[in-house]
Chain A
Amino acid sequence: MVDNLHYKVKKYLEANSKTESELYSNKIELQDDGSGGYIETWNVDGLAKPNDSQLNALASNATKDLNNAVIRKTRKTGYGTIGDQLDLLYKDMLADKGDKTGEWFKKIKAVKDANTKE
C-alpha cells in the first residue's frame, strides 16, 4: 500500500512553523515495509512526532500538495529545456514579439492552462 505520508508530514511541519526541508535531512526518515508508510526516524527539534490521527487529519491538503507536485512535473516537461525556451525567446525578440503575442508566452500559457494546479 502506498500512501501520501511525505506530504502529510510536510503539512504537519508547516502547521508547526517548520519547513519541508526537515523531510530531506537526516532528522526524519519515512519507511514502508510493504504495509504502508510510517515514520521510522523523528528527531525534529522542539516538535513531537505526529501520531496517525494527527497525520490523517491533514490528508486532504496533503493530497492537494501531491497532485500539484505531479502537475509541476508535467508542466516542466511541457515547457521544454531552458535552451529551447531561450531560443524561442530570442526568435520572439527578433520578431518584436517579446510580449504576450510571442511564441514562448503562448507555449508556456498553453502548458499551464492544460495542467492547472488545485
Chain B
Amino acid sequence: MALSKVGLVDVIAITGETALAIQPAAADEILVNDGGTIKRMDVSHIFNTPSFDVRLTSNQTIANNTFTKLAFATETVDSDGKFASNKFTPTIAGYYFLTYSIYYDVVDDNELLSLKVYKNGSGDNAAERNNFATGTNNDIMTWGTYLIYLDTDDYIELYTKQTSGGNATAYTGNTTFSGFRVLGI
C-alpha cells in the first residue's frame, strides 16, 4: 500500500491547491520528512546560491609576465550581493563550482596565457589553467572549471598572466568569471 500520509499531511490536500507556476521565492517553504519528523524549510536551502557571473566593464591592459587581478565590475548575476570589489565572498561554507575564461590576440610561438584562481590572496596552483599559442598573434583562449571549498570568510579572485613580451588586452566580451554553490556534498 502506497504511503499517502506522513503524520497529518495528506497528498490529496496538496494536489488540490493552486500550483506555484514560477520559481519559489527564497523564503517560500516546503515540508520535509526529517528522519520521521515533519519540518518546514525555506527553499533557499536548496538553491545553488550564492552564485555570481561577472564581466569586465572595460578592456583591461595586462602587463607582460605578471599575474594581474582582473577587475570585474559588471555583475550579470550576483544572487546574494556577495560579489564586490573584484572578489566573491560567499559567507556560506560549502563547495563552489567555478568557471572562468579569457582570450588574447597577441600571443604566439609557445607564449603562455594563463588564468589562476586566488583564494584569500594566494594563488591556488590547482586552479591554474594554461594555454600556449602556436602561430603568429593567435586568437587564443584559455578556460577552466574548478571545485573549491570556501568557508564563511574565504574569498576568491581571478588573476591572469600572458607572456607576449608586451602589454596585452583582456577584452570585456571574452573575459568571464562565474560560480555557484554545489549542494549535497
Contact = CB atoms under 8 A, between A and B. Distances in A.
Interface of A: 2-7, 23-24, 29-34, 37, 40, 66, 69-70, 72-73, 76-77, 81
Nearest to A5: B66
A31 B159 contact: yes
Contacts, number: 60
Given A66-B166, A72-B165, A73-B137, A40 B67 contact: yes
B68 A32 contact: yes
A6 B64 contact: yes
A33 B64 CA distance: 14
Contact of A81 (B64, B135, B167): B135
A31 B136 contact: no
Given A73-B164, A73-B165, A81 B136 contact: yes
Nearest to A71: B166
A77 B138 CA distance: 11
Contacts of B86: 34
24 contacts: A2-B61, A5-B66, A23-B65, A24-B65, A24-B163, A30-B63, A30-B65, A31-B66, A31-B68, A32-B67, A32-B68, A32-B69, A37-B63, A66-B64, A69-B64, A69-B166, A70-B165, A70-B166, A73-B164, A73-B165, A76-B137, A77-B136, A77-B137, A81-B135
